[in-house]
Amino acid sequence: MAGIFYDPHARRLHAVDQSPDAGWMLVTHNLDAGLHHCRRIMREWLPADDLLRVDWNITDHRRTA
């Protein structure tokens, strides 16, 4: 499943085009979503103090073949 996923253990976002790691939570299916969009979505299910601890750099796990 493609999309941007949140890794709660590392507190970071990953852009994935195949299969996310177990335990990662889907933020959005839109791989072109910006950080503002991801923050807005995650604000609905993460407390404000947890949002402050998120590494907002999106790690690219897409294949470029």
Beta bridge partners of 60: 15
Residue range of the domain that includes 21:
3-61
Is residue 63 over pLDDT 90? no
| Per-residue pLDDT reduced to its tens digit, 2-54 | 999 999 999 999 999 989 999 999 999 999 999 999 999 999 999 999 999 99
- What is the pTM (predicted TM-score) of this model? 0.89
Report yes or no: 27 and 17 within 8 Å, Cβ to Cβ: no
In the Cβ-directed half-sphere of 15, how many Cα atoms lie within 13 Å? 15
As a whole number of Å, the end-to-end CA separation of the chain is 17
Domain count, the chain: 1
Both tokens of 53, joined, read 């601890």
The pLDDT value given to residue 1: 87
The pairing of strands 3-7 and 25-28 is: antiparallel
